[in-house]
Amino acid sequence: MHEEISRLHQWLSGQEDAMVDLLRDVVNIDSNSHDKQGVDAVGTRFRDFFQEHGIATRTLPLPAAGDVLIAEIGPVSATDRPIMMLGHRDTVFPTGEVAQRPFSIVDGVAYGPGVCDMKGGLVQNAFVLAAFHHTQVNPPSLMVMMTSDEEIGSPSCREIIIEYGRKARAVFNSEPARPTGNVVTGRRGGMILELVIEGRSAHSGGNFTEGISAIGELAGKITALHALSDVEAGYTVNVGVVEGGQSHNTVAPSARALIDCRFVTVAQRDALKADIDEIVRRSFVPGTRSRLEILARFDPMEPNEGTREMLEIYRQSAADLGMSVEGEFSGGCADSGFTHNAGCPSLCGTGPMGWKAHTAEEYLRLDSLVPRAQLLAGAVWRRAQSN
327-330 and 104-106 beta bridge pairing = unpaired
Q: Can you say whether residue 269 is alpha, beta or left, with left for phi > 0 and alpha for psi between -120 and 50 degrees?
A: alpha
Task: Yes or no: say if 251 and 211 are a contact pair by the CB < 8 Å rule.
Answer: yes
Strands (E), 94-148: 104-106, 109-111, 142-147
Sign of CA dihedral 74, 68, 19, 380: negative
Residue 79: predicted pLDDT: 67
Residue 207: predicted pLDDT: 94
Residue 271: predicted pLDDT: 97
Longest dimension (CA), the chain: 86
Residue 387: predicted pLDDT: 63
Residue 94 DSSP label: P
What is the three-class DSSP state of 43?
A: helix
Residue 386: predicted pLDDT: 83
Sign of CA dihedral 87, 37, 133, 167: positive
Whole-number Cα distances in Å, 349 to 76, 345, 355: 26, 14, 11
Task: Yes or no: say if 40 and 110 are a contact pair by the CB < 8 Å rule.
Answer: no
**What burial class does residue 316 get, using C-beta atoms within 10 Å of its C-beta: 0-12 exposed, 13-18 middle, 19+ buried?**
middle
Q: Rounded distance, CA 218 to CA 49, Å?
A: 51
Q: Report the half-sphere exposure of 261 (CA within 13 A, side-chain side).
A: 31
Q: Rounded distance, CA 337 to CA 333, Å?
A: 7
Residue 149: predicted pLDDT: 97
Q: Rounded distance, CA 316 to CA 378, Å?
A: 9
Q: What is the pLDDT along the chain (387 residues), one digit of tens a residue?
A: 799 999 999 999 999 999 999 999 999 999 999 999 999 999 999 999 999 999 999 999 999 999 999 999 987 665 678 999 999 999 999 999 999 999 999 999 999 999 999 999 999 999 999 999 999 987 779 999 999 999 999 999 999 999 999 999 999 999 999 999 999 999 999 999 999 999 999 999 999 999 999 999 999 999 999 999 999 999 999 999 999 999 999 999 999 999 999 999 999 999 999 999 999 999 999 999 999 999 999 999 999 999 999 999 999 999 999 999 999 999 889 999 999 999 999 999 999 999 999 999 999 999 999 999 999 999 999 999 886
Domains in the chain (CATH in brackets) are 3-188+300-385 (3.40.630.10), 190-297 (3.30.70.360)
Q: Rounded distance, CA 295 to CA 305, Å?
A: 31
**What burial class does residue 323 get, using C-beta atoms within 10 Å of its C-beta: 0-12 exposed, 13-18 middle, 19+ buried?**
middle
Residue 25: predicted pLDDT: 98
142-147 and 189-198 beta bridge pairing = unpaired
The residue type of 169 is R
Residue 77: predicted pLDDT: 62
